[in-house]
Chains A and B, each alone.
Chain A
Amino acid sequence: AQKITQTQPGMFVQEKEAVTLDCTYDTSDQSYGLFWYKQPSSGEMIFLIYQGSYDEQNATEGRYSLNFQKARKSANLVISASQLGDSAMYFCAMREIQGAQKLVFGQGTRLTINP
């Protein structure tokens, strides 16, 4: 069974600083995808970034990058130059490429950006 672990319930960061949100995963699948989502207080799930298990390069999307270390089974999200609007819940998730294709989520990290 797949499992996602986020060990940081809450993070507090000064505006303009970089922040790393931790995510480790466990799976017996060879082919899988890793996702990060942002959830503001409105409740919608905002897709941030995706990393495929066979991708050799770390994914980047603007201020977001994913530090993918396959041997260590970690997929940490790095947000550079944090902004007040980055304050939200952040979820790491994993999805099988074949089969059920459902997303399995970690517990989430609440990020607060201080001015």
Chain B
Amino acid sequence: SAVISQKPSRDICQRGTSLTIQCQVDSQVTMMFWYRQQPGQSLTLIATANQGSEATYESGFVIDKFPISRPNLTFSTLTVSNMSPEDSSIYLCSVVVRETGELFFGEGSRLTVL
């Protein structure tokens, strides 16, 4: 299995500010994903974080709004920029473990934008 540390677990933010979420894994992974879950909705993939190169964004998500970094095999960050109340969501990190191919989720970061 893999232990995923996702921080912060929750935060309350002001409109117009930016927040960076961190995802740290205790084992080497091949794929790292970032999901958004708006209130009462399902999970939607924001992007795939690629090591050492620009993330691959899904339709409807752009780098200026959701910049992502992945400097190595076990760490990634997602920034939610210039936040509005519509960005209030749970943001989840997900990884595929290199050794087993299994997929795991972090515990999520619950953001509230006022």
Interface residues of A (CB under 8 A from B): 35, 37, 43-45, 47, 91, 95, 100-108
Contact = CB atoms under 8 A, between A and B. Distances in A.
B43 interface: yes
Interface of B is mostly: strand
B92 A45 contact: yes
Contacts, number: 40
A105 B44 CA distance: 7
Given A43-B110, A44-B105, A44-B107, A91 B43 contact: yes
Contacts of B76: none
B39 to A, nearest CB: 11
Nearest to B6: A44
B74 interface: no
A100 B48 CA distance: 9
A81 B103 CA distance: 28
Given A43-B107, A102-B48, A108-B42, 14 more contacts: A35-B103, A44-B107, A45-B92, A47-B104, A91-B42, A91-B43, A100-B48, A101-B96, A103-B45, A103-B103, A105-B42, A105-B43, A105-B44, A106-B42
B31 interface: yes
Given A45-B92, A106-B42, A101 B31 contact: yes
B90 interface: yes
26 contacts: A35-B103, A37-B105, A43-B37, A43-B90, A43-B107, A43-B108, A43-B110, A45-B43, A45-B105, A45-B108, A47-B105, A100-B48, A101-B30, A101-B31, A101-B96, A101-B103, A102-B31, A102-B33, A102-B45, A103-B43, A103-B45, A103-B103, A104-B45, A105-B43, A106-B42, A108-B42
The 7 closest A-B pairs by CB, nearest first: A45-B105, A43-B108, A105-B43, A105-B42, A44-B107, A43-B90, A108-B42
Contacts of B105: 37, 44-45, 47
A47 B1 CA distance: 12
A37 B103 CA distance: 12
A105 B94 CA distance: 13
Nearest to B58: A102
